Amino acid sequence: MAQIIDGKLIAANFREEIAIEVAKIKKEHEITPTLAVILVGCDPASEVYVSNKEKTAHSVGMNSIQFKFSAETTQKELIAKIDELNNDPKIHGILVQLPLPSHINSKAVIHNISPLKDVDGFTIENVGKLSIGDIKDDENSYGAIVPCTPLACLHLIKNAVENSSVFQRNIGLTGLKALVIGASNIVGRPLARLLMLEGCTVTIANRSTRNLSAETLQADIIIVATGVVNLLKKEMVKKGAIIIDVGINRVKINHLESKIVGDVDFDQVKKVASAITPVPGGVGPMTIAYLLQNTIKCCLRIIKNNQ
């Protein structure tokens, strides 16, 4: 039976480290790392995500300021707000909660965020750096700010390998076969880049993949990020594989109630995997922790640039 990867606990430990970093920044620089979150319209799921991010930021001593706009807001107004936040020295990170209403071009909005405050790692500069493997700072330039969910997945994979009796812990992820199912710019593609940098042999599957089972059965690590309930089933998984479930799907239990499930048939797959993340309580809490970590990273860069 698989080890259940406790994302809530791992995230709680990680947040303790973040809180120490925040306290140090406050003490040494008299600055509170501050995240600006832009929310447009009143999509209930987005409102829940934004309020969770805000609560978690406050719990580690950071500031999180919400800027709410009506669904009728124009792209021009939104970009004007981003310009203002880019130039505000008290703001260290900017996040635009997606999806935006259909009359707004998300790409145009995101690309107006300063790469220095791009806590989601979605701007061309950060995406480009990650795609060439430039993720570390050196004396001449900063490495990419990497998107939060891929960082969360990588953290949980490393944790699973460290605690594994199946894989050799001393070589990390080097040489392992990783399959990323889902090729979005938010999760699949940046995660595949990170896994390549760890020395994995990486395959990316998408909805056009012809024989998904042929791919899954070869993989030591499978990350599923599709939004398709029960896409990964027990008979598709090699014994001892590590399974990371990114999916968030609301399914009805009866007329009145619903629950959140991932993309993996959890109860069956856990019988063959060596480690597996639950949904909820797996990737989600770690994603928020990395949002805070990225905000600190941006804050420290801004402090350094001003010295």
Catalytic sites, residue numbers: 53, 97, 120
Cα–Cα–Cα angle for 223, 187, 289, nearest 5°?
95
DSSP conformation class of 8: H
Spatial CA neighbour of 91 closest among 146, 30, 31? 31
In the complex, the smallest distance separating the C-beta of residue 95 from ligand NAD, rounded to whole angstroms, is 13
Question: Shortest gap between Cβ of 189 and ligand NAD (angstroms)?
Answer: 9
Report the residue number, 60 or 289, with the smaller CB distance to ligand NAD: 289
Q: Whose Cβ is closer to ligand NAD: residue 91's or residue 153's?
A: 153
Closest chain position to ligand NAD (CB):
184
Q: How far apart are CA 203 and CA 188, in angstroms?
A: 10
Q: Find the distance separating the first CA and the last CA of the chain, reported in whole Å.
A: 53
Rounded Cα–Cα distance for residues 285 and 277 (Å): 11
Residue 287 near residue 152, CB atoms below 8 Å? yes
Closest CB 125 distance from ligand NAD, rounded Å = 21
Least distance (Å) between residue 192 CB and ligand NAD = 11
Task: Report the interface residues with ligand NAD, using CB under 6 A.
Answer: 149, 181-184, 186-188, 205-207, 209, 212, 225-228, 231, 246-249, 283-284, 287
Q: Which of 179, 184, 182 is nearest to 201 (CA)?
A: 179
CB of 167 or CB of 293, closer to ligand NAD: 293
Question: How far are the Cα atoms of 43, 202, 224 from residue 177, in angstroms, in the given order?
Answer: 38, 6, 14
CA angle 122-57-33, nearest 5°?
75
Give whichever of 34 and 149 is closer to ligand NAD, judged by the CB atom.
149
Convert 110-154 into a string of H (helix), E (strand) and C (coil). HCCCCHHHECCCCCHHHHHHHHCCCCCCCCCCCCCCCCHHHHHHH
CB of 74 to ligand NAD, least distance (A): 25
Considering beta carbons, is residue 11 or 91 the nearer one to ligand NAD? 11
